């Protein structure tokens, strides 16, 4: 561990005594090349522990050690070849990469990594001991269930949540009252809320079989199940849209985010994303199949307000060997 200046950082592509410049270097092309020394928060971010800001928070909280010593100074530097870095007692290496998880959020959990009132939060359901820098991508309300992504990749999270990306999010809702397909037309045109005009939504009435997540015992008389697909992320947006047409939401469930479907994971449990799923996210997501079915689909561009936005191919999903520990 050192506190030398930035000018002291050097880059090397081979160890001492390596082949001469004229030697064949193709074998080492795939090897990562790092500065011998770098700031500790940069090291943690590049190792996939957390974003740069999140790594700083881990340091100031006293959760990071270098060679057995707690490192809280943000100016601390490490030698990537010699120093031993741990977060919460777990070793960290540069080549371990970022982490991407899918959680099936149950009802009753806040989307936060800590709560001063000690209420149940999603942090209780994901493996923070193994991946201390995990954070949720966006949020779901306490009473909303479904797909919630977690990662240590701050750049990807920002990209997915930025208003300019228009990532598709698919929700199923059980609403009060008898709602017809015609009643959804204001949502398809773009409904006005108190914080501005919404972008046109893709929506339809769905069957009881499709709506099992929000109506496990069937759609009872006096209620209706609907699917709503939006590309914004305003607070309580789907609930407010449906309330605006006089059909308040009873239950809400997110089944798709950026083209990733909630599958192969039990309620209250998590799994790591497949390589293909990570590629989809890094490509900015893909539209759900309903977007191409023209069920009231709107043009890709419109003048709706974008204010208050909050925010290995095809292999089988990697299973959670500690699933029972995180089942809500």
* Catalytic annotation present for 141: yes
pLDDT at residue 11 greater than cutoff 60: no
pLDDT bracket for residue 32 (50, 70, 90): low
What's residue 311's pLDDT?
34
Task: Please tell me the distance from the alpha carbon of residue 65 to that of residue 78, in angstroms, as a whole number.
Answer: 11
Closest CA to 136 of 125, 146, 124, 122: 122
305: tokens are 């307000």
Give the pTM.
0.69
- Identify the weakest region by mean pLDDT among 119-133, 178-192, 262-276, 303-317: 303-317
Mean pLDDT along residues 38-44: 90
What's residue 226's pLDDT?
98
Strand 64-66 and strand 85-87: the pairing is antiparallel
What's residue 33's pLDDT?
56
pLDDT bracket for residue 303 (50, 70, 90): very low
CATH number of the 169-257 domain: 3.30.70.1560
What's residue 315's pLDDT?
37
| C-alpha dihedral sign at 196, 201, 206, 210 | negative
Mean pLDDT along residues 9-20: 40
pLDDT at residue 13 greater than cutoff 60: no
Q: Note every long-range contact of 322-327, with CB atoms under 8 Å and residues 24 or more positions apart, other chains counting.
A: 322/127, 323/266, 323/269, 323/270, 326/124, 326/125, 326/126, 326/127, 326/268, 326/269, 326/270, 327/266, 327/268, 327/269
- pLDDT cut 90: percent of the chain above it: 57
Between 317 and 65, residue with greater pLDDT: 65
Let me know if domain 97-163+263-284 sits in CATH 3.30.390.10.
no
- Identify the weakest region by mean pLDDT among 2-11, 29-38, 194-203: 2-11
Q: If phi over 0 gives left and psi between -120 and 50 gives alpha, with beta otherwise, what is residue 22?
A: alpha
Residues of the chain with CATH 3.10.290.10: 37-92
Closest CA to 137 of 126, 124, 153, 150: 150
What's residue 30's pLDDT?
47
Query: What is the homologous superfamily of the domain 37-92 according to CATH?
Result: RNA-binding S4 domain (3.10.290.10)
Q: How many CA atoms, within 13 angstroms, populate the side-chain half-sphere of residue 101?
A: 28
Task: Please tell me the distance from the alpha carbon of residue 113 to that of residue 121, in angstroms, as a whole number.
Answer: 7
Give me the residues paired with residue 144 across strands. 252
| Residue written as token pair 């009872």 | 220
Summarize pLDDT for 62-113 with one digit per residue, the tens.
999 999 999 999 989 999 888 999 988 888 887 667 899 999 999 999 999 8
Residues of the chain with CATH 3.30.70.580: 97-163+263-284
Question: What contacts 16, CB < 8 A, 6 or more positions away?
Answer: none
pLDDT at residue 8 greater than cutoff 90: no
- Identify the weakest region by mean pLDDT among 5-14, 129-138, 217-226, 285-294: 5-14
Give me the residues paired with residue 38 across strands. 78
Summarize pLDDT for 164-178 with one digit per residue, the tens.
878 999 999 999 999
Task: Please tell me the distance from the alpha carbon of residue 48 to that of residue 268, in angstroms, as a whole number.
Answer: 24
What's residue 155's pLDDT?
83
Catalytic entry in 79, 88, 124, 141: 141
pLDDT bracket for residue 293 (50, 70, 90): low
pLDDT at residue 154 greater than cutoff 70: yes
Task: Please tell me the distance from the alpha carbon of residue 225 to that of residue 117, in angstroms, as a whole number.
Answer: 34
Angle 154-161/52-60 helices, nearest 10 degrees? Answer: 130
The pair phi, psi for residue 123, each rounded to 5°, is: -60, -25
pLDDT at residue 320 greater than cutoff 90: no
Mean pLDDT along residues 110-130: 92
What's residue 95's pLDDT?
63
Average pLDDT score over the chain: 81
Residues of the chain with CATH 3.30.70.1560: 169-257
Query: What number of other Cβ atoms are within 10 A of residue 277's Cβ?
Result: 20
Q: Are 129 and 135 in contact (CB under 8 A)?
A: no
């Amino acid at each position: 561990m050192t506190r030398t200046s930035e000018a002291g950082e050097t880059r090397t592509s081979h160890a001492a005594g390596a082949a001469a410049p004229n030697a064949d270097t193709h074998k080492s092309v795939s090897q990562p090349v790092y500065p011998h020394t770098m700031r500790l928060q940069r090291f943690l971010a590049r190792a996939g522990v957390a974003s740069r800001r999140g790594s700083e928070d881990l340091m100031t909280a006293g959760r990071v050690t270098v060679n057995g010593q707690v490192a809280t100074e943000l100016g601390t530097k490490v030698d990537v070849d010699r120093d031993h870095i741990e977060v919460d007692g777990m070793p960290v290496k540069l080549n371990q990469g970022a982490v991407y998880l899918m959680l099936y959020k149950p009802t009753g959990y806040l989307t936060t990594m800590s709560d001063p009132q000690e209420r149940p939060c999603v942090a209780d359901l994901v493996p923070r001991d193994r991946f201390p820098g995990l954070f949720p991508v966006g949020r779901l309300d306490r009473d909303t269930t479904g797909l919630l992504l977690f990662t240590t990749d701050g750049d990807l999270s920002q990209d997915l949540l930025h208003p300019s990306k228009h990532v598709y999010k698919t929700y199923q809702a059980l609403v009060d009252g008898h709602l017809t397909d015609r009643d959804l037309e204001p949502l398809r045109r773009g409904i006005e809320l108190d914080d501005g005009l919404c972008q046109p939504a893709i929506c339809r009435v769905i069957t009881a079989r499709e709506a099992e997540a929000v109506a496990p015992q069937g759609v009872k008389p006096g209620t209706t199940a609907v699917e709503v697909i939006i590309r914004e992320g305003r607070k309580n947006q789907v609930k407010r849209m449906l309330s605006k047409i006089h059909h308040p939401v009873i239950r809400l469930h997110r089944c798709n985010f950026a083209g990733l479907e909630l599958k192969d994971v039990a309620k209250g449990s998590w799994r790591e994303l497949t390589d293909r799923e990570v590629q989809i996210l890094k490509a900015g997501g893909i539209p759900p199949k309903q977007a191409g079915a023209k069920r009231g689909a709107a043009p890709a561009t419109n003048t709706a307000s974008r204010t208050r936005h909050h925010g290995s191919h095809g292999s089988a999903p990697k299973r959670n060997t500690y699933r029972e520990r995180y089942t809500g």
